[in-house]
Chain A
Amino acid sequence: MKNLLRDPKAYQELAEQKKPRPNLAKNLFTAFVVGGAICTLGQFIQNIYIKYFNFAPDRAGDPTTATMIFIGGLLTATGVFDKIARHAGAGTAVPVTGFANSIVSAALEFKREGFVLGVGSKMFALAGSVIVFGVVTAFVVGLISALL
């Protein structure tokens, strides 16, 4: 039999075979249901802002987003978010709650290194790339549309 220790490619193939398969069906189902539920909650909150706080329908997105960020942040700070996220995966990561979680978890964690060097500098360690790439995309798309 081949000595795999001298054959990286063959070893990598064997390693790939031995990897347990994630339970795709369960993950997809949970992500769909939790993600859908979070968005439904967002819709509910938005309707409240429209009905009871007199926000115009197209401006109610702002307080809704801020509220969802607060909720995601609070669940993160109280240690609950990661327990849900373990099962929900993209269901909690993709909605703006995931964005809030990445910022608040970083802020909490790096508090040990102080507020300026820890919280301040590292708050966007995980969320930063979302902002950077979002802005770059908007710049390029905006430029293209301005030139057309």
Chain B
Amino acid sequence: MAMKVGSQTFTFPSRPVLTGWATVSGPKEGQGPAGAYFDKIFPDLTMQQKSFEKAEQLMMITAVEIALEKGGVAKDAVDVFVAGDLLNQIIISGYSALKVGAPYLGIYGACSSFCEGLFLGGLLVDGGGAQYVVAATSSHNCTAERQFRYPTEYGAQLPPWAQHTVTGAAAVVVAARGSGPVLELATVGKVMDLGIKDPYNMGAAMAPAAADTIFTHLADTGRQPGDYDLIVTGDLGRVGRELLVELALRQGHDLSANYRDCGEIIYSREQTENAGASGCACSALVTLGLLFNQNYRRILVVATGALHSPTSCQQGDSIPAIAHAVSIEFPKGGQ
């Protein structure tokens, strides 16, 4: 039965297991450092579909199917399908849920959806009566651009602090029993807004949320950053990562040794334009693709999301953000 520890953290004493997972991506991500570990890489952004939205759906469904297959779980054994994405009314998740056919909970955490999904999976499995929960998330560069910013062929010049939305999808099977990485505990974040208004500077908007969640996590668990082999944030990018390190230092936490940002890992130096990557799939692809294959003992994944909309920005509001932290342990040093 899941238990609350401290102010915002929940432990999962029955130790839910991640028995299967899948990573699917577009071409650019496939050519990056984590690409070798992805289950499927599509060669172009349209993926032979009628729209970019249909392409993103195809990625999410593909990820779910591969994750179920790897976990040895039949579709009708899935107790709950938890999914979130960046699009209005989270349509990618809704339409994917239709195809998955399992009971569905749609979530919106922007780019923090990966950890939000894992947390809910853990909660449903540990004392919630579920045997198998599938958590999935996706993002697509073109669907995000067309909704949040500009038409994809528009000639915009991005500032050097802007980030590139990742094209990809990932799914994880959270199971009550089995072998695999263990979902140990999770800290649910609070919304933070320190007045950043520039929708191109999401790193600065989200760093406070990441900081607040990490500090609360450490206080709730009594742990030090060094208790983790690696702490990663989802997509703070170069600017956000520097800000987080600074915020942590002022709070007495030294993140310099074992902290990195997924938005800076997913693309190689040559591929990186501006401040790095963002998107729901960013944290998921790096974590499941790269980090799950590194022989770590325990990692803390802190997915970060910006909770603005184009309307709120145009109306002059600043950008609120949220971050959720999930601690994953690897039995015997990883898969």
A joins B in a complex: yes
Residues of A within 8 A of B (CB): 1-5, 8-9, 11-12, 14-15, 18-23, 27, 76-77, 79, 81-82, 84-90, 92-93, 98, 101-102, 104-106, 108-110, 112, 125-126
Pick the residue among A9, A14, A104, A125 that contacts B243 (CB under 8 A): A14
Pick the residue among A4, A19, A22, A76 that contacts B153 (CB under 8 A): A76
A77 and B153 form a contact (CB under 8 A): yes
> What are 18 contact pairs spanning A and B, CB under 8 A?
A3-B251, A5-B194, A5-B208, A5-B211, A5-B212, A12-B196, A18-B246, A20-B161, A20-B275, A27-B157, A85-B156, A86-B156, A98-B155, A101-B155, A105-B153, A105-B154, A105-B155, A112-B53
A19-B201, A112-B53 given; 9 more Cβ-contact pairs under 8 Å:
A12-B194, A19-B204, A20-B239, A81-B155, A82-B153, A82-B156, A104-B153, A108-B153, A126-B154
A86 and B151 form a contact (CB under 8 A): no
**Cα A136 to Cα B251 with chains together (Å):** 53
Q: Which residues of A contact B208 (CB under 8 A)?
A: 4-5, 11
Q: Which residues of B contact A126 (CB under 8 A)?
A: 150-151, 154
Asked whether B152 is an interface residue with its Cβ less than 8 Å from the other chain, the reply is: yes
Q: Which residues of A contact B125 (CB under 8 A)?
A: none
CB-CB contacts below 8 Å: B146-193 with A: 146, 150-161, 192
Asked whether B309 is an interface residue with its Cβ less than 8 Å from the other chain, the reply is: no
**Cα A77 to Cα B207 with chains together (Å):** 38
Candidate in B153, B246, B275 with the most chain A CB atoms within 10 angstroms: B153
Interface size class of B (residues with CB under 8 A): 35 or more
Q: Which residues of B contact A85 (CB under 8 A)?
A: 155-157
Q: Which residues of B contact A101 (CB under 8 A)?
A: 153-155
- DSSP majority for the A interface? helix
Q: Which residues of A contact B195 (CB under 8 A)?
A: 8-9, 11-12
Q: Which residues of A contact B154 (CB under 8 A)?
A: 82, 101-102, 105-106, 126
Asked whether B135 is an interface residue with its Cβ less than 8 Å from the other chain, the reply is: no
**Cα A112 to Cα B147 with chains together (Å):** 13
B154's nearest neighbour on chain A, judged by CB, is: A105
A14 and B246 form a contact (CB under 8 A): yes
A4 and B152 form a contact (CB under 8 A): no
Q: Which residues of B contact A18 (CB under 8 A)?
A: 204, 239, 242-243, 246
B211's nearest neighbour on chain A, judged by CB, is: A5
Asked whether B51 is an interface residue with its Cβ less than 8 Å from the other chain, the reply is: yes
Pick the residue among B53, B151, B192, B250 that contacts A3 (CB under 8 A): B250
Q: Which residues of A contact B212 (CB under 8 A)?
A: 5
Asked whether B291 is an interface residue with its Cβ less than 8 Å from the other chain, the reply is: no
User: Given the known A-B contacts A3-B250, A8-B194, are A84 and B152 also in contact in the complex, defined by CB atoms under 8 Å?
Assistant: no
A113's nearest neighbour on chain B, judged by CB, is: B51
Q: What mask results when residues 210 to 226 of chain B are scored 1 for a CB within 8 Å of chain A, else 0?
A: 01100000000000000
**Cα A81 to Cα B152 with chains together (Å):** 11
User: Given the known A-B contacts A19-B161, A85-B157, A89-B157, are A1 and B151 also in contact in the complex, defined by CB atoms under 8 Å?
Assistant: no
